[in-house]
Structure 1
Amino acid sequence: MKSPVAESEADPSLSVSSSQHRSLGSFCSLFQITTPSSFHSVMTCISVHQAVGEYGMAHFSELGKSKGKDYCIFFNSKWAHLPQDLNKASRLQTYDLTASVLCSASDVPKGGFPNRIAMVLRGNCTFYEKVRLAQINGAKGLLIVSKERLIPPFGNKTQYEEIDIPVALLSYSDLLDITKSFGEKRQVAMYAPSEPVVDYNMVIIFLMAVGTVAVGGYWAGSRDIKKCETVDVTPIMIAVFVVMCCSMLVLLYLFYDHLVYMIIVIFCLASSVGLYSCLWPFVRRVPFGKCRIPENNLPYCHKRPQVRMLLLSALCVAVSITWGVFRNEDQWAWVLQDALGIAFCIYMLKTIRLPTFKACTLLLVVLFIYDVFFVFITPYFTKSGESIMVEVAAGPSGSSTHEKLPMVLKVPRLNFSPLSLCDRPFSLLGFGDILVPGLLVAYCHRFDILMQSSRIYFLACTVGYGVGLLITFVALALMEMGQPALLYLVPCTLLTSLTVALWRRELPLFWTGSGFVVNNTTSPSDPGAIW
């Protein structure tokens, strides 16, 4: 625990952004992380060593009345605990001293704060000095009004033992609303409602993930996919890719504020291409807009594309740009991000082709090790004691941009807790948790078509992916500690596929992908031809 310092000099690492956990150290929120360099997801219970902060509620109402309005507060339970139920919280009259910072005895009004909740401005001295003056002058609690970002009101062990009244931070904008709504004679009750670790939005995350893997894997083996539209992954490419993953992750950790915008731009470009790729097979069946544009020398238009192609391109780019401009609108921007993300994942599953089960195994095992290393091992090397992946996923606490990496599917929590006033927490699933196992699902579907095996490999691997995702969710809820999702997804998908191959006595063909090379030379009329 750091020694007390003036609030104006408080360590910025103590601040907590709204998309992190509501209760650091006592509450866990799902942070499943994926960047172009970190194809994984992880459940993170972040523990801030310098200070522990929790979101709570301050219920203001007119004096003598119970009906009022909730406002978000940020408190530290080490000073004093707050009840979880509003009905069990004491309703006390406030003493508005927000014209003062309460840093010396001269700031204390005559008569003190008998049996009241004092409200003062933040600044000029430590939290301990403020709450000590409030306590010895009869206050039953302290609300510190802050014009800056809310941070945990911290102290040291001795100070925590001395103080027995709650202390919390309240935003200045909320104070203005409180003054307007309730005037001078008002009362407040402070409480900290609890939330379930597992939320119903997990069902939506599960359906989106499994659905994307199933659709992408099925489409990847379709006869509509031509060989020229795919990219075969070799062992050398896998090695280069993993090195790039490690390098980019470390660079993001070191230079997050500079690189995060580059990732946002890349996502906008890639997702618009993915959306076009997914919508074009449907648009080309529309009997309108088949006419071509006139001859011209414009870039990308010299081949005279069809009007409907240009219109679809404009639509996809417009959707991507709309998300880019309004990406921080928590109320609805997540819907666009999910739609673009699903389209991007399906496009990648159609485009990237692992030619053998051997290549699938190599990629998944290497990324399995990479995932575990950057979640469990890197905390021993970082100054903060946090894993590099956790820091990159949540956005470094000292980040000046407060931007989040977009390479995730996100769904807001669906429980209707008062704490939704404090932030809008999301459950996040990284693209890598879809793409990496999804490439194996796509290989299984191609092998099914080759062997005419009624898609048994495809179905088994898809079910294995779903089971692995369920195990991940259960582990997150039960263990309440960092869990790399590939720790569960890789064994479930690999072992399921391997078991089916052994049961059907097709392991040699499945391992080497032997029929695919022969298949490339078959004629289009051959029923076994899939490219």
Structure 2
Amino acid sequence: MRVATWLLWAAWWLEQALGEYGMAHFSEKGKVRGKDYCIFFNSQWARLPQDLKKASRIQTFDLTASVLCSPSEVPDGGFPNRIPMVLRGNCTFYEKVRLAQINGARGILIVSKDKLTPPAGNKTQYEEIDIPVALLSYTDMLDISKTFGEGREVAMYAPNEPALDYNMVIIFLMAVGTVAIGGYWAGSRDIKKRYMKHKRDDSAEKQDEETVDVTPIMICVFVVMCCTMLVLLYYFYDHLVYVIIGTFCLASSVSLHSCLWPFVRRIPFGACRIPENNLPYCHKRPQVRMLLLSLFCIGVSATWCVFRNEDQWAWVLQDALGIAFCLYMLKTIRLPTFKACTLLLVVLFVYDVFFVFITPFFTKSGESIMVEVAAGPTNSSTHEKLPMVLKVPRLNSSPLALCDRPFSLLGFGDILVPGLLVAYCHRFDILMQSSRIYFVACTIGYGIGLLITFVALALMEMGQPALLYLVPCTLLTSLAVALWRKELPLFWTGSGFVPPPIIMAPINPTQTPGPPTKAESQAPEAANQDEAPPPSPHPAPEEPSQPKHEVPKPE
């Protein structure tokens, strides 16, 4: 049933895919260097060359004051060997293209203020037209008019889209590295907190953050909140996006401080405290190095918030803050059993698949709610993007990078959800003294699942629910290791996390066993064969004190 549903959806999607992305290279007349702009064309009118060198450079004719829907709008002399730029009007694409072709045009660029849609027609119209037809956005037209003069030339071409972009390697390393480091850090920190006594200072900076054990009820509430928030973002994106941005700034600055403080506290200088004051959050006199670290973290978060739309470099700050946020959450949230891990991963597996593959049947535009919200709705008036993703710009020159999705994205949930299982595996490794085999196997399973996600992305050429591949790879790998080591009952219930029994002081082998004396019961730590117990101020009644005298030596 699922396969049939997916095939029907794929067939519907192919029917809608009438348009293709291409590039329009504008330049001054007689000059080679210029600038590429995104165009949306239909190859059934006329195909475009794949290489810019094979594309003809043709002078444009600015007719953006007209929609070219009637012969009266054609200028005297027509468009001999030119490409007119006209506005999109109420008439059909065929009427525009036919008027342009009859009057000697070599192509036509239709400027659209709305979303770029494929310039469709019927089979008879396709056979009649032999010039390329492409749509250009209105904002790009304004930039072209500002950048180039009236004698500008354009060359339209459509290079092939590569199967995989090199930025996938960067995303893979960031995701796997975050899961491995976060899982290792969270597991080690949790074990130390459970089984070792730390010397704690009264100062707030030396106290570790408390962990939160996830219960089945919390998992259900969390999933309901995720579904509700995603639907609200889909319908009220322009209003809620700023709430998400503000929340991310606050959470990321706290997370960055938490991740950097273990390293900063080892710096030998800056340990002195600030003077007495009545300032908020400073009345406890924090250390100078802690205060400077807080100002640094707030500054990084504020810098990203101000320049978040600078596509050339702001993504570096967003990824750094996002990795810190994921590490902080992996340290704070803890799954106590493999049963809880399975419940969380399976429920979010269904959630991810539903909002990517099933929701296109219910939306008016036929778009996936998950992909639409993650990439930002095309009809958004704010043009803001959600920051809850790792993003890396495409490193190759392609129409898809220029037009539709200039960044490759990976949501924080695709890191946090499997990362919680990796952290559980590491804690179990330490307690069972299993040489971290669960941790290593689960991390490798996560990497394999991410690679499968990239392959599916290249084959289907559409957004993928990463948990569809990550959940089976991590869960089945951990389960297989537990079965192989015959530790599944302990691994499933978390029975290995029972605190160890209290070990009594060793008994002196030179003494015969017997009931403990009163002195031993009061001070068991003093019972050592090399050290005598401390003298009691009140001697026991059954052992009366003897008078002190010297024993005479025998003659």
Farther-moved stretch of structure 1 (424-433 vs 334-343): 424-433
- Contact 1:349–1:442 under 8 Å retained in 2: yes
Q: Does 1:376 align with 2:351?
A: no
- Matched with 1:33 is none
1: CA distance, partners of 2:17 / 2:419 = 40
Between the aligned partners of 1:461 and 1:333, the Cα distance in structure 2 is 32
Counterpart residue number, 1:52: 19
Match of 1:7 in 2: none
Q: Report the Cα offset of residue 49 of structure 1.
A: 4.2
1:281 aligns with 2:248: no
C-alpha deviation, 1:474, in angstroms: 1.4
1:102 aligns with 2:68: yes
Secondary structure of 1:401's match?
coil
Task: Map 1:473-488 to 2 at 5 A.
Answer: 473-488=454-469
Q: How does 1:341-420 map to 2 (within 5 A)?
A: 341-417=322-398
Q: CA deviation digits over 1:444-498, x for unaligned, max 9?
A: 1111111111111111111111111111111222233443111111111111111
Report what 2:141 is aligned to. 172
Stretch deviating more after TM superposition (385-394 or 237-246): 385-394
2: CA distance, partners of 1:483 / 1:144? 32
Greater displacement, 222-231 / 322-331? 222-231
Structure 2 partner of 1:6: none
What is the CA distance between 1:178 and its match in structure 2?
Answer: 5.6
Cα RMSD of the aligned pairs, angstroms, is: 2.8
Question: 1:316 aligned to 297, 317, 326, which one?
Answer: 297
Q: 1:330 touches 1:424 (CA, 8 Å); kept in 2?
A: no
Match of 2:509 in 1: none
Partner Cα separation in structure 2 for residue 396 and residue 210 of structure 1: 29
Structure 1 counterpart of 2:312: 331
Structure 1 unaligned residues grouped into runs of 5+: 1-44, 526-531
Structure of greater relative contact order (alpha carbons < 8 Å, 6+ residues apart): 1
Partner of 2:487: 506
Quote how far apart the aligned CAs of 1:258 are.
1.1
User: Aligned partner of 1:56: which letter?
Assistant: M
Q: What is the one-letter code of the residue matched to 2:367?
A: E
Change (3 A) 1:98 1:510: closer
The residue that corresponds to 1:307 in the other structure is 288
1:176 corresponds to which letter in structure 2? S
Task: Label 1:153 to 1:359 Cα distance change in 2 as closer, same or farther (>3 A).
Answer: closer
Alignment-mate amino acid for residue 390 of structure 1: V
Q: Distance in 2 between matches of 1:409 and 1:452?
A: 34
After TM superposition, the score normalised by the length of structure 2 is 0.79
Quote the residue 1:446 is aligned against: 427
Aligned to 1:190: 156
Q: Are 2:105 and 1:139 aligned? A: yes
State the SS of the aligned residue for 1:315: helix
Aligned counterpart, 2:165: 199
For 1:474, give the aligned amino acid.
V
Q: Distance in 1 between matches of 2:235 and 2:465?
A: 21
- Map Cα deviations across residues 368-398 of structure 1 (whole Å, 9 max, x no partner): 1111222222222222332321222222232
- Offset of residue 404 of structure 1: 1.1
Secondary structure at 1:304 match in 2: coil
Out of 391, 410, 428, the residue aligned to residue 429 of structure 1 is 410
* Amino acid in the other structure paired with 1:102: L
Contact 2:93/2:121, CA 8 A, preserved across alignment: no
Provide the TM-score with structure 1 as the length reference: 0.82
The 1-side partners of 2:174 and 2:393 are apart by 14
Q: Which residue of 2 aligns with 1:69?
A: 34
Structure 1 residues 46 and 345, CA gap change in structure 2 (3 angstroms): farther
Question: CA–CA distance in 2 between the matches of 1:175 and 1:356?
Answer: 60
What's the counterpart of residue 157 of structure 1?
122
**Pairwise mapping of residues 235-254 of structure 1 onto structure 2 (< 5 A)?**
235-254=216-235
Counting aligned pairs with the same residue, the percent is 78
Q: C-alpha displacement at 1:94, in angstroms?
A: 3.6
Amino acid at match of 1:111: G
Quick one: distance in 1 between partners of 2:361 and 2:227? 17
What is the rounded CA distance, in whole Å, between the counterparts of 2:261 and 2:276 in structure 1? 23
Aligned 8 A contact 2:255 2:325 in 1 = yes
Cα distance in 1 for partners of 2:465, 2:34 equals 40
* Structure 1 range deviating more: 448-457 or 341-350: 448-457
Which whole-Å CA distance do the structure 1 matches of 2:439 and 2:361 have between them? 40
In structure 2, stretches of 5+ residues that fail to align are: 1-11, 195-208, 506-555
**CA distance in structure 2 between the partners assigned to 1:384 and 1:93 by the alignment:** 36
Task: Say which of 436, 439, 451 aligns to 1:455.
Answer: 436
Q: How many residues align?
A: 474
